[in-house]
């Protein structure tokens, strides 16, 4: 269950369609300059989350590693290794 908590912060969208995420929120959420942000829509809500890449095959987020610029989980890696034999 997701708990939605109001921050009391209101921002306007500029002429180019941009919105600034306040530094207080960026610090709290560990968002740094150039970090990727993923955008979701749920009903009338727009949800921004700090992007974390999962396995390129199954989208698993845990037990992953980078191989030649791609994210793989150990399970998919083992399946690929087995099929390659």
> Does residue 28 share a domain with residue 17?
yes
Burial group, residue 76, by CB count within 10 angstroms (0-12, 13-18, 19+): middle
Same domain? 60 vs 78: yes
Model confidence, pTM: 0.57
**Residue 61 above 80 pLDDT?**
yes
pLDDT for the residue numbered 1: 65
| SS3 label, residue 38 | strand
62 plus 76 within the same structural domain: yes
Summarize pLDDT for 42-53 with one digit per residue, the tens.
899 898 888 878
Q: For residues 47 and 82, state if they share a domain.
A: no
pLDDT digits 0-9 by tens, 62-71: 889 988 888 8
pLDDT tens digit sequence for 1-44: 667 788 889 999 999 999 999 999 999 888 999 988 989 998 99
- Cβ contacts of 73 within 8 Å, gap of 6 or more: 54, 55, 57, 58, 60, 62, 63, 64
Q: Which domain holds residue 59?
A: 54-85
Residue 70 · residue 56 · CB < 8 Å = yes
For residues 29 and 47, membership in a common domain is answered with: yes
């Amino acid at each position: 269950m997701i708990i939605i908590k109001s921050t009391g912060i209101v921002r306007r969208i500029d002429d180019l369609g941009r919105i600034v995420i306040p530094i207080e929120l960026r610090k709290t959420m560990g968002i740094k300059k150039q970090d990727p942000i993923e955008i979701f829509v749920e009903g009338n809500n727009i949800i921004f989350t700090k992007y974390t890449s999962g396995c390129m095959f199954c989208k698993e987020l845990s037990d992953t590693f980078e191989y030649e610029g791609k994210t793989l989980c150990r399970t998919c890696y083992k399946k690929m290794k087995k099929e390659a034999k």
